[in-house]
Amino acid sequence: MGDADYIVIGAGFAGLTAALRLTQAGHSVLVMEARDRPGGRTFTEVGVDNSYIDHGGTWIGPGQDRIHGLMAEFGVPSYKQYVDGESMMLVDGKIYRYGGTIPWSMRPWVSGNLATAFLELRRMCASIPVEAPWEAARARRWDATTLAQWLERHVPVRRARSLLEMALAGSYTSAATELSLLFVVYQLASAGGPDFVLGVEGAAEDARPVGGMGALYHQMAARVADGLCLRAPARSISQDRAGVTVRCDGREVRGSRVIVSVPIAIAGQIIYEPALPADRSLLHQRMPSGAVLKCHALYDEPFWRADGLTGQSAAPETAAAVTIDAGMHQGGPGVLAIVNEGPTARRLTRMAPADREAAITEALAHRFGPNALVPERFTQQDWTVERYSGGGMISHAPPGVLTEFGHALRPPCGRIHWAGTETSAVMYGFVDGAVRSGERAAREVLAADAVA
């Protein structure tokens, strides 16, 4: 007899969903979470006035049915992202205002090159079998190519290339030289294509849960509260014929099976006894995470809206590479989220926090005017130093990894089952993908024990 029927490692969206579904199926579950809070790569700070800031995963979009399903289950409504105005692109010091996804107000050869690159990406996505991208007709060739090489060849106009590089490599919070083209096309395809992943309205940043992601994950955590153990980092998992034993600091728990839902970039920090099969073990060494720094500047009011701006802007190589309006569902302060990714994020994290804030607010003022220079409050969330995320936003595959090791992403290793957004064939990297992976892992565990 174990401590619980099943053990889940990690209380992010994947782990919480798995635990919830197993509990609903009538099983006892222990969730071992390393941090002192649930949520993982989502992290909502709620103020005394009920204001909320999402320091990690924030937005949801159409087609993300599983996160919408959970929100309906727990009575969490959503609200639309503010898009009523123009967005901005800053290239070589010049500001371009535009609507939609492609900045047509730029020089025609720049916009035209961006449009043809999007067409090409859409075409490539259509050829990817998302359950097994390593079986795509051009899988080997694309997996031997970096995103940087593809951009060099297919996006000859320098300004177009630097914008697309920032948008694409930025999504994986890495340099374009680090990323397998096959991985990039697979991730885009898993979410329906580049228009969804890089878009806002009707796309990946279409809406937000009222109250932030925490409005949902706290309710999920409450539903499994009897079995939720915080400050319990799993250090080792051993399995035998009858079950699994998970050792955390100062605690050992036993169950029939375990679902590991930690980011794949840090799954190798757990010791597995006996050792995992070679391909799974080596996969853990080959899917790193990137670097992301997410800041928020809070003002009395969203003054950019009066200037006809959405608050959305992209400016490669500045200290505020991407900005987006992150205001609450009704009123409250004006909030700009500033997201810096990959090499820019790493450069900024080497600065002292006060210097970093000054560099970022100066970049904001250049774009949005002097009002932006002195926010009422400025927050900084540096995911690169989050030990139990291993960086952010998501783990990616460098060249050669998907075709050699991708097949090991999902299959269980004996009594060890794998969840986490990186194991989802649909909406890889999104909160919705995490939820899907948790539901899949719970089904898998139940099916395995039904057969046994």
Show the tokens assigned to 110: 């720049």
Looking at beta carbons only, is 294 or 410 nearer to ligand FAD? 294
Burial of 149 (0-12, 13-18, 19+ CB in 10 A): middle
CB of 248 to ligand FAD, least distance (A): 7
What is the nearest approach in angstroms of ligand FAD to the Cβ of residue 380? 12
Beta bridge partners of 7: 30, 258
Report in angstroms how near the CB of residue 13 gets to ligand FAD at its nearest. 4
Query: 34 or 408: whose CB is closer to ligand FAD?
Result: 34
Least distance in angstroms from the C-beta of 59 to ligand FAD: 4
CB-wise, 261 or 403, nearer to ligand FAD? 261
Nearer to ligand FAD, 59 or 150 (CB): 59
> CA-CA distances (angstroms) from residue 91 to 51, 102, 172, 180?
34, 14, 21, 26
Strand intervals (E) in 99-214:
207-209
Q: Is 434 annotated as a binding residue?
A: no
Surface-to-core class of residue 331, CB atoms within 10 Å of its CB (0-12 exposed, 13-18 middle, 19+ buried):
exposed
> Which residues are near ligand FAD by CB under 6 A?
9-15, 32-35, 40-42, 56-59, 233-234, 261-263, 266, 270, 292, 294, 383, 388-389, 392-394, 420-421, 429-432, 434
What is the nearest approach in angstroms of ligand FAD to the Cβ of residue 25? Answer: 20
Q: Could you give the CA distance from residue 30 to residue 32 in angstroms, rounded to a whole number? A: 6
Between 9 and 88, CB nearer to ligand FAD: 9
What is the distance between the terminal CA atoms of the chain, rounded to a whole angstrom? Answer: 16
Nearer to ligand FAD, 392 or 399 (CB): 392
Coil, strand or helix at 52: strand
Token look-up 């597995």 returns: 272
- Per DSSP bridges, beta strands 234-239 and 416-418 are unpaired
Report the nearest approach of ligand FAD to the CB of residue 1 (Å). 23
Q: Is 136 annotated as a binding residue?
A: no
CA distance 412 to 444: 9
236 in helix, strand or coil? strand
- Cα torsion 430, 65, 47, 379 to 10°: value is 20
CA dihedral sign of residues 103, 109, 113, 115? positive
Work out whether strand 322-325 and strand 309-314 pair parallel, antiparallel, or are unpaired: antiparallel
Is 422 flagged in the annotation as binding? yes
Helix ranges restricted to H, 339-430 = 342-349, 353-368, 401-405
Cα(193)–Cα(238) distance, rounded to whole angstroms? Answer: 40
Least separation in angstroms between CB 120 and ligand FAD: 25
Minimal distance in Å, beta carbon 88 to ligand FAD?
20
Residue with Cβ nearer ligand FAD (180 or 289): 289
Instruction: Report the relative pairing of strands 207-209 and 78-80 from DSSP bridges.
Output: antiparallel
What residue numbers does the annotated binding site cover?
A: 33-34, 422
What residue numbers does the annotated binding site for FAD cover?
A: 33-34, 422
